[in-house]
Amino acid sequence: MNTEQHIVDWDSSLELAGGDHGIAREIIRVCSEDLNVTLKILSEAYQNKDTQALRHELHRVKGGVCYLKAPELMDALNNFHASIKAVPQASNDMASTYEGLLKAIMNFQEASKNLI
C-alpha cells in the first residue's frame, strides 16, 4: 500500500460507499471538515487533562471515520484512545499518541484535498 493509500484507501472507501464516487467523496469531505471540530475539542480536553471529554470525542469521531477506509487515521485514533484508557496512564505514552493523532489528522486532511 503506498503512502496515500495508507492515509485514504480510495478503492476500499469507494466500496464502503456502494461504488458511488459522489458519496465516497462526500463522506471524505464531511469527515475532513468534522476533524477541524475534533482538533479543537481534543486540544482543549488534552490541555485540561479531561480524559472523559477525550474519550467522548474519540468515540464520536471514530464513528464517522468507520464509513471510509483511512488506516493511518483509524490506527492513530485507536492508539490515542488506548493510551487514555490505560491504567495507570503513562503521560509519555499519552503525549506520543496524541502527537501521532494530530499528525494523522493533518495527513488525512491534506490527502482528502486530492480526493474531493
Q: CATH no. for residue 45? A: 1.20.120.160
Say whether pLDDT at 30 is over 80: yes
Provide the percentage of residues in the chain whose pLDDT is more than 70: 95
Higher pLDDT, 67 or 42: 42
Domain total for the chain? 1
Structural domain of residue 27, as residue ranges? 3-113
Residue 101's pLDDT is what? Answer: 97
Residue 5's pLDDT is what? Answer: 62
Indicate the average pLDDT of the chain. Answer: 90
| Unique residue bearing C-alpha cell 492508539 | 79
**Cα end-to-end span (Å), the chain:** 20
Residue 90's pLDDT is what? Answer: 72
Tell me how far apart the alpha carbons of residues 64 and 82 are, in angstroms, rounded to a whole number: 18
Say whether pLDDT at 16 is over 60: yes
